[in-house]
Amino acid sequence: MSTLITDRILLDPNSDIAPIPLTELGYRVVKQARATYDGGQWNANTTYNWVPGMFNDYTPLLATSRIRMTCMIPYARITGSSHCISHWIFYANGLEQGRHGVSGQHHEDMRTYIWDVASWGTSSGRIGYQMRCYADDNHEVRPYTTQYWDGGGSNQTCRGQYVIEEYSIQGV
């Protein structure tokens, strides 16, 4: 048996990329928040609004940490149109981190979205999703509901959940 002691890993010896310090390969969770939303389907409108159950007014423990938010969001199209369109923006402390759309034909799904951002200090800031639909009560995605429950057209309430993990990179 042999023991190898190293402080850096070089992924490709033919690359110009600098070796990765081992301290960047581990992390330690320093604070966690989680919530489950079971308030029923949400009927969005054409204005961006905070998605119920998918945001938190979070205060980081450390100014040097990273914050990972995992959002598990069920959604479906509403009855009346075969397709749906929605627009989503993820924010951390008032800053837009990214955008994406959710759309499809006869759409019904549950997705997990993971966002990882730097801490914004040790003051409270909102982290989470805003969303808007394409048109009111037509061609829209509604979070926390189903469309084809158990093979038939039936709306059932679904639960969504988020988990926030604030972590410190090992060695920092």
> Alpha-carbon distance 129 to 65, whole Å?
21
Mean pLDDT value of segment 30-54? 95
Question: Domain limits of the chain?
Answer: 27-169
CATH number of 27-169: 2.60.120.760
Those residues with Cβ within 8 angstroms of residue 84's Cβ, 6 or more apart along the chain or in another chain: 77, 78, 102, 103, 104, 107, 133, 134, 139, 140, 141
> Alpha-carbon distance 166 to 172, whole Å?
14
Q: What is the pLDDT of residues 61-104, one digit of tens each?
A: 999 999 999 999 998 887 666 778 899 999 999 999 999 988 87
- The closest alpha carbon to 11, from 22, 19, 1, 3, belongs to 19
Q: 């995992």: which residue's tokens?
A: 70
Q: Which of the four pLDDT bands, split at 50, 70 and 90, describes residue 34?
A: very high
The pLDDT value recorded for residue 80 is 67
pTM of the model: 0.81
Neighbours of 44 (CB within 10 A): 22
The pLDDT value recorded for residue 151 is 65
Q: What 3 state SS string does 147-171 have?
A: CEHHHCCECCECCEEEEEEEEEECC
- Answer with the residue of higher pLDDT: 149 or 38: 38
Is residue 171 scored above 60 in pLDDT? no
Average pLDDT across the chain, whole number = 87
The pLDDT value recorded for residue 45 is 92
In one-letter notation, the amino acid at residue 136 is D
3-state helix, strand, coil in the chain (%, to 5): 5, 55, 40
Cα dihedral 4, 6, 11, 12, rounded to 10, equals -80
Is residue 146 scored above 70 in pLDDT? yes
